[in-house]
Each structure stands twice: as structure tokens, then as C-alpha cells.
């Protein structure tokens, strides 16, 4: 989370310096319209995944977020960048999302599905694809 904040802050500082130090130029009208069209196309082609955080087999929805990704991004990395999570010592299993975790002795945990199916690998290995719908549900073990 701190890395993400530092990157974002660095980006804003760089943009501020570029804008503040740049010489003013007039842009021809046709160049402006081309730039706007390119920006619109870029936004439309941006790939996303939908991540839903719920509890008790979807009985209670806690959070839902559409997140831009690049194909092949790892689910664990995306979760770390967008939610407050904790993992086990190996870093392979999520034990807490947004500070919700099992109490000592409680047989509950985070189970995730992608597009309605439970993957055979952990979030630390799962490569996301555009338009994936990921659900993390805090539920009793079955």
C-alpha cells in the first residue's frame, strides 16, 4: 500500500514539474481533436476486473471495486494494491481483507472464485484476464 502511495505521489510531482516548467504553445485545432480521440480510445480499451468482497456465501456484501489491469497481472498483487490485506507467513494465502479475519479457533477463512469457479491455485499464482469477476468470500470451511 505504501509503495502504491509513493508511486502515485511521485507521478503527481513529475506531472506538476512538467506542467509548471513547460513553455506555453498553441496547439493546432486538428491536433487537439486527434489527442482527444486517442485518449477516448485508450480509456475504452482499458481492461478491468471486478472484485467483490463478501461474507457468508454472499449473504453480506462488504465491498465491490472495478480495477484496471494488464493481462497477466497476479491476483495477489492486485489485491495488495487495492485493499488492506494480510497473508500467512508464506505469503500465499490471504488471512484478512479489510481487517476481517477468523478469530482464534474459528473455522472460517477467505475463499475466492473467478467467474463462478474456484481455481486450483492460490491468489499468489492466479493470472488475471480482462473482464474476470473475482469474489472473495469470508465463510466457514466446508
CA distance 130 to 21: 38
CA dihedral 39, 41, 42, 47 (to 10 degrees): 150
Is there a single domain that holds both residue 80 and residue 13?
A: no
Would you give per-residue pLDDT tens digits along the chain (142 residues)? 556 555 656 655 656 544 555 544 444 555 555 565 555 444 445 799 999 999 999 999 999 999 999 988 999 999 999 999 999 998 888 999 999 999 998 999 999 999 999 999 999 999 999 999 999 999 997 6
> What's the pLDDT tens digit per position in 53-67?
999 999 999 999 999
> Residue 79 has what pLDDT?
97
Q: What is the CATH number of the domain that holds 59?
A: 2.170.130.30
Is there a single domain that holds both residue 90 and residue 133?
A: yes
Is there a single domain that holds both residue 102 and residue 131?
A: yes
CA distance 57 to 87: 21
Is there a single domain that holds both residue 81 and residue 133?
A: yes
pTM above 0.75, yes or no: no
Is there a single domain that holds both residue 35 and residue 62?
A: no
Q: Which domain holds residue 114?
A: 47-140
Is there a single domain that holds both residue 58 and residue 127?
A: yes
Is there a single domain that holds both residue 26 and residue 69?
A: no
**Total of domains in the chain:** 2
Amino acid at each position: 500500500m505504501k509503495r502504491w502511495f509513493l508511486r502515485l505521489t511521485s507521478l503527481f510531482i513529475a506531472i506538476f514539474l512538467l506542467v509548471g516548467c513547460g513553455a506555453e504553445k498553441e496547439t493546432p485545432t486538428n491536433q487537439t481533436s486527434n489527442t482527444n480521440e486517442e485518449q477516448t480510445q485508450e480509456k475504452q480499451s482499458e481492461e478491468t476486473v471486478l472484485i467483490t468482497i463478501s461474507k457468508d456465501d454472499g449473504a453480506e456484501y462488504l465491498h465491490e471495486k472495478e480495477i484496471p489491469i494488464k493481462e497477466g497481472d497476479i491476483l495477489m498483487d492486485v489485491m495488495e494494491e487495492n485493499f488492506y490485506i494480510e497473508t500467512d507467513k508464506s505469503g500465499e494465502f490471504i488471512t484478512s481483507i479489510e481487517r476481517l479475519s477468523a478469530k482464534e479457533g474459528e473455522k472460517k477463512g477467505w475463499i475466492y472464485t473467478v467467474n463462478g469457479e474456484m481455481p486450483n491455485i492460490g491468489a499468489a499464482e492466479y493470472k488475471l484476464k480482462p473482464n474476470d469477476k473475482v469474489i472473495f468470500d469470508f465463510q466457514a470451511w466446508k
